[in-house]
Amino acid sequence: MPTRRRALLVIAVLLVAVVLSLAGALLVGSYSISPGEVWARILGNSTGGEGSAGSDIVLGLRLPRALAAFACGGLLALAGALMQVLLRNPLADPYVLGVSGGAAVGALSAMLFGLPLIVIHGGSFVGALAAMLTVFGLARGDGSWTQSRLLLTGVIVAAGCGAGVALILSVAPEQKLHSMLFWLMGDLSHAGSPWPALAVLAIGLALVVPLARDLNLLSRGDLVAHTLGVKVRSLRAAVYALGSLLTAVAVTTTGSVGFIGLVVPHLVRLTIGNDQRVLLPATALAGGALLVVADTLARTVIAPQQLPVGVLTALLGVPVFLYLLSRQPKGGRE
C-alpha cells in the first residue's frame, strides 16, 4: 500500500546519501585538506584567504565538479526511468533512442576540427537534439506512435550515429584520440559550470513528479492508461521530449556516461517498488549520489592520473545489471 509517509522517508534517506557523497567528494583528492578547513572554505571564512590553494581546490575545482557529477547522474537516472516507462521496457536506458549517439557525433566532429570547448559542448547538444528530432519525426509516421516503432527507429538512428563515431575515430589524428575516447566513456574533468545542469534537473523533476501517477498507469499499457483517464498521446510526447532533453543536457556536460541511466532506476525499483511518485525523485537523487562517488573514485584511484568516470560506472553497472537480468521472471507473460 503506497503512502506519502513512506515516500518522504525514502527521499530523506537519499538526501542524506547525497550530502555524504558530496562531502566525500570535497574531502578526498590528491591534495589533502582537513575536513575543518573544507568546512571553513565553504562558509567563506578561512584563514588562508581567498586566493589560497586550498580555497581554489575546494571551491574552484572539487565543488563544481561534484555538483556537475550530481546533476548529470540525476539527469541520466531520471531520463532512464522515463524511457523505461515510455518504452515499457525494463532494458531501456537514456541512450536507447540515439540521443547520446547524436551528441557523440556532434562533440567528436568539433574535437576533430580542434574547436574550443564551448563549441564541443554546443556541437554535442545540437547533435543530441538532431537525433531526438529525427527519431521523433520518423517514429510518428502514420501517427500510431507505438513503442516498438519508436524503439526500432531509435536503435537504427543510434546505429547510424555509431558508424559516424567510428568514422571520426578512424580519421582522427592520434593526439586527439585520447580526449575523444574519454568523451565517449564519460568524463567530468571538462564539465564546466554545474548550474545549467542542476537547473535542468530541478525543472525536469518539477515537471514529472506531478505526472507520476499518470506514468504509473502508462507503465501498465497505453490502453489501460487511456481507460483510466490519462491523455496518453500528449503524455507520451511530453515524456519522450523531456527524457531526451535531460539526456542531451547530461551528455553535453559529461559525455556519454554509461549504465547510470539503466542500473539506477532498477536498483531503486528493486528496493522501493515501481511507484513513479517515489521512484522518479528517488532515482534522480540516487543517480546523482552514485555518479559523485564514481567520479571521486575516478580521480583518486590511480591519482594523479584520472580515469574516465564511465569506466567506473560500467565496472559497477555490468555485474549489477547481469544479476538483475538473471532475476527476470522466465517465460512471464507480456
User: Smaller CB distance to other proteins: residue 42 or 209?
Assistant: 209
Cβ proximity to other proteins: between 34 and 148 the closer is: 148
Determine the Cα–Cα distance for residues 147 and 157; give it in Å rounded to an integer: 15
Q: Concatenate the DSSP letters of all residues of 74-94 into one string.
A: HHHHHHHHHHHHHTT-TT--T
Query: Please, what is the minimum distance in Å from the beta carbon of residue 245 to other proteins?
Result: 23
Alpha carbons 299 and 317: distance in angstroms, whole number: 18
Minimum Å gap between C-beta 223 and other proteins is 5
Least distance between other proteins and beta carbon 332 (Å): 5
CB of 213 to other proteins, least distance (A): 6
- Cβ proximity to other proteins: between 65 and 266 the closer is 266
**Burial 45-72, CB ≥16 within 10 A → b, else e:** ebeeeeeeebbebbbeebbbbbbbbbbb
State which residue, 140 or 277, has the beta carbon closest to other proteins. 277
The amino acid present at 199, given as its one-letter code, is A
Q: Which is nearer to other proteins, 150 or 293 (CB)?
A: 150
Cell numbers representing residue 24 in the block:
566525500
Say which residues have a Cβ less than 8 Å from residue 9's Cβ, sequence separation at least 6.
none
Minimum distance from CB of 330 to other proteins (Å)? 10
Which residue lies nearer to other proteins by CB, 43 or 223? Answer: 223
Residues that bind other proteins (CB under 8 A): 1-4, 84, 88-90, 210, 213, 216-217, 219-221, 223-224, 226-231, 269, 273-275, 277, 329, 332-334
- Is residue 302 classed as helix, strand or coil in its secondary structure? coil
Region for residue 170 given its phi and psi (left: phi exceeds 0; alpha: psi -120 to 50; beta: otherwise): alpha
Q: CB of residue 83 vs other proteins: minimum separation in angstroms?
A: 13
